[in-house]
Amino acid sequence: MIARLKSNWSYLAIATLFAFLILAPFDWFLGQYTTLMIVIGIYTIVTVGLCLLMGYTGQVSLGQAAFFGMGAYISAILSTTYGFNPWLAMLIAAVITGAFAYTIGSPIFRLKGNYLAMATLGLGLIMWIVFKQLNQSFGEPDGISGIPYLSIGGFVFDSSFRRYFLVWAFCLVILLISQNIIRSRTGRALRAIHGSEAAAESIGINVGRFKVKILVLSAVYASLAGSLFAHHLRYIGAQPFDFLASVKLVVMAVIGGLASIWGAIFGAGTTHILSDELLLRFGDWDVVIYGLILVLVMIFMPEGLFVKLKEVFERLRLMYRKKGVEP
């Protein structure tokens, strides 16, 4: 009974979310924020991958921006210098990034905890330097410009209104796919690895292989998001893929609730708005603020701000219901 009520409420919540997302880009609603929401959608895709990797499987990545950047740069280079169709470029980027994650996966997962964090951090820094070199080789000193828009037949995604729907369609498909994975044999195995690797192995779970697979999946998500990012902005530099970007992605996942797929939208949204609108004023101190947010959230609400808010909402609803039944 309670379970059914709960699921009715989550249907309602998802229906509301859909309605909001469909109506948001219209001028009479939140049209002026369309560009902001496109970027939030893109970050949500990366964050979902990070949630699967960190929240469900328990493997830290402080270098997720590397995969994000790989998607963006491979798409940018293939579709400008080599004149590839943007969709094909996006596909190739995802394949290359996935293969890259697969290759580094087995050596990197020999490490655990802090050491894994350091290794992924190193990966992020190395790729950031590579991106800066790619600017020199394929574009201007600061970035690559002239990236074409995505298009389907004659329909070009040349307005932010159109790109908004494209990005969020991608985002929702990825959210649904991820939710299906979590509620499956595979998802249970991932959560088991987080719980206890020894116990997981004892019941036949190939811990090493699952870790590599989830890293590949999160890398492919990040790469797709990176490609969308490149074809949205039409110009990319290395800055959105630096160390701070990786930290920002972790903050997004943590605020959304590491083990909460739908929380990713909330985490990506609040963090991006916060960093884009507020933290800019702090200049170089923004990294300190990120650190502070991370520490505070991990101490006071380890399951994430989103999950905490959901609990509060639930409690309010119960209080309201009680009052309704017993006046």
Partner 1 sequence: MSRSVILETKGLSKAFGGLVALDKVDLSIETGKIIAVIGPNGAGKTTLFNLVTGVYPMSGGEIYFQGALLNKVPPHKRASLGIVRTFQHVYLFGNMNVLENVMLGRHPRSSYGFLEAALRLPKARREEEAISLNAIKYLNLVGLGTYAEHDALSLPLGQQKLLAIARALATEPRLILLDEPGAGLNTLEKRQLSDLIRNIREMGVSVILVEHDMPLVMGIAEWVIVLDSGAKIAEGTAAQIQKDRKVIAAYLGEEVE
Residues forming contacts to partner 1 in the complex (CB under 8 A) are: 3, 177-178, 180-181, 184-189, 191-192, 194-196, 198-207, 213, 217, 259
Alpha helices in the chain (DSSP H): 2-23, 34-50, 64-80, 86-108, 113-138, 160-182, 185-195, 197-202, 207-233, 243-256, 263-273, 286-300, 305-325
Which of 205, 279 has the CB closer to partner 1?
A: 205
Give the whole-angstrom CA distance, residue 66 versus residue 267.
Answer: 20
Q: How far is CA 285 from the centre of its chain?
A: 24
Which of 32, 202 has the CB closer to partner 1?
A: 202
204-231 burial string, b = 16+ CB within 10 Å, else e? ebebeebbbbbbbbbbbbbbbbbbbbbb
Smallest distance from the beta carbon of 299 to partner 1, in angstroms?
19
Smallest distance from the beta carbon of 241 to partner 1, in angstroms?
26
Which of 24, 91 has the CB closer to partner 1?
A: 91
Smallest distance from the beta carbon of 172 to partner 1, in angstroms?
14
Retrieve residue 1's tokens: 């009974």
Which of 123, 190 has the CB closer to partner 1?
A: 190
Give the whole-angstrom CA distance, residue 272 versus residue 88.
Answer: 29
Strands 151-152 and 155-156: antiparallel
Retrieve residue 10's tokens: 């989550």
Smallest distance from the beta carbon of 200 to partner 1, in angstroms?
8
Smallest distance from the beta carbon of 71 to partner 1, in angstroms?
19
Which of 191, 308 has the CB closer to partner 1?
A: 191
Smallest distance from the beta carbon of 202 to partner 1, in angstroms?
5
Residues 174/41, Cβ–Cβ less than 8 Å: no
Which of 19, 199 has the CB closer to partner 1?
A: 199
